[in-house]
């Protein structure tokens, strides 16, 4: 099993589309073996500079939206996720 650990140094979460961002409390682990689809897009203009990617992660049983911070931890998590998706041929064109 492959997991991605996300904490407040890496990302904030958007619980409802279009709503405000909320800080994560503690660590959040995503089981990457359950990933069906990941949509990564540029952040909204009002978050540009503070965040590097808006990521919608669709798992077998739930969906999460994270906004990855523009920080060493956030950029590393974004790169780790991109590498995993490429290795697993998820979202490859």
CA distance 36 to 55: 13
| pLDDT (0 to 100) of residue 43 | 83
Residue 65 lies in a domain: yes
- Enclosing domain of residue 9: 3-87
pLDDT digits (tens, 9 = 90+) for 27-52: 888 888 888 888 888 888 877 888 88
Which DSSP state fits 48? B
Residue 93 pLDDT more than 70?
A: no
Q: How many domains does one find in the chain?
A: 1
Would you say 38 and 90 are in contact if contact means Cβ atoms under 8 Å apart?
A: yes
Residue 16 lies in a domain: yes
Q: What is the CATH number of the domain that holds 56?
A: 2.30.29
Would you say 92 and 12 are in contact if contact means Cβ atoms under 8 Å apart?
A: no
Which DSSP state fits 45? G
Residue 48 lies in a domain: yes
Residue 93 lies in a domain: no
pLDDT digits (tens, 9 = 90+) for 75-84: 888 888 888 8
CA distance 3 to 25: 18
């Amino acid at each position: 099993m492959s997991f991605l650990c996300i904490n407040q140094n890496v990302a904030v979460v958007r619980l409802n589309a279009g709503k405000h961002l909320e800080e994560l409390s503690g660590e959040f682990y995503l089981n990457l073996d359950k990933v069906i689809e990941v949509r990564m897009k540029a952040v909204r203009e009002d978050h540009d500079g503070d965040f590097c990617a808006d990521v919608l992660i669709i798992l077998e049983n739930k969906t999460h939206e994270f906004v990855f911070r523009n920080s060493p931890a956030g950029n590393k998590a974004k790169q780790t996720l991109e590498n995993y998706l490429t290795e697993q041929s998820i979202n490859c064109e």
